[in-house]
Amino acid sequence: MPTGIHLRDVRAQLFDAAERVLLREGPSGLTSRAVTAEADCAKGVLHRHFEDFDAFLAALVLDRIHRLEAHAEGLRAGTGDLVETVAEMLTEVFSPVAVSIVALITFRDELRHRLRAARPGPGIPLATDAAHVLAGYLAAEQKLGRIAPDADVQTLAPTLIGAGHLLFADRTGAAPSGEAVRQMVGAVLVSAPTTP
């Protein structure tokens, strides 16, 4: 007899279930059994759609990266307050689920290997992708004259991602205030080097 409910968009429902497990139990609680129980489906459903659990996790992370890139396309350089826009972006990048995903990537070697095969490059996938997205946005702002022309946006972006990660890293504690995030962003952007 079949168990669970009929899943219309299996991937999306399994990803949503995984994110709920991550929020509730963190990376150490994310297992294939926890995901399928949360999705209210048989464990075999996950394995019919993914080679193994690490393939599922890699697809979950890549889905997150694609959502981040889609969100970034909506950022319009030259509109709104620069510090506020970057602070909002960092708050989105470091949502509780994303912080758990970064931890998951850090401690699962096979997942990291699969992600590097899919998206070659150094750094921690998702965090590195966020830095690329942010660098693109900062470069657009630079072309509009809202950031110094000689500021190194390729260094500013990962600096903001690293400082943001430190602010948001404790997934079980209170999130930093919006003011704390804006203060950090302002301090990093103000310190951008300029030539005399």
Tell me the β-bridge partners of 41.
4
Is 85 domain-assigned? yes
The residues, ordered by sequence, that sit 6+ positions from 14 with a Cβ below 8 Å of its Cβ are 7, 35, 36, 39, 41, 45, 46, 49, 56
Is 177 domain-assigned? yes
The residues, ordered by sequence, that sit 6+ positions from 5 with a Cβ below 8 Å of its Cβ are 40, 41
Number of domains in the chain: 1
Q: What secondary structure letter does DSSP report for 175?
A: P
Q: What is the mean pLDDT of residues 19-28?
A: 92
Residue 78 pLDDT exceeds 80 = no
Is 115 domain-assigned? yes
Between 187 and 3, whose confidence is greater?
187
pTM (two decimals): 0.84
Could you read off the pLDDT of 145-194 as tens digits, one per residue? Answer: 889 999 999 999 999 999 999 999 876 778 889 999 999 999 999 877 54
CATH number at residue 51: 1.10.357.10
Is 3 domain-assigned? no
Q: Please report which confidence band the pLDDT of residue 36 belongs to, taking 50, 70 and 90 as the band edges.
A: very high
Residue 196 pLDDT exceeds 60 = no
Q: What is the mean pLDDT of residues 109-133?
A: 90
Task: Give the structural domain span for 148.
Answer: 10-190
Q: What is the mean pLDDT of residues 58-85?
A: 87
Is 44 domain-assigned? yes
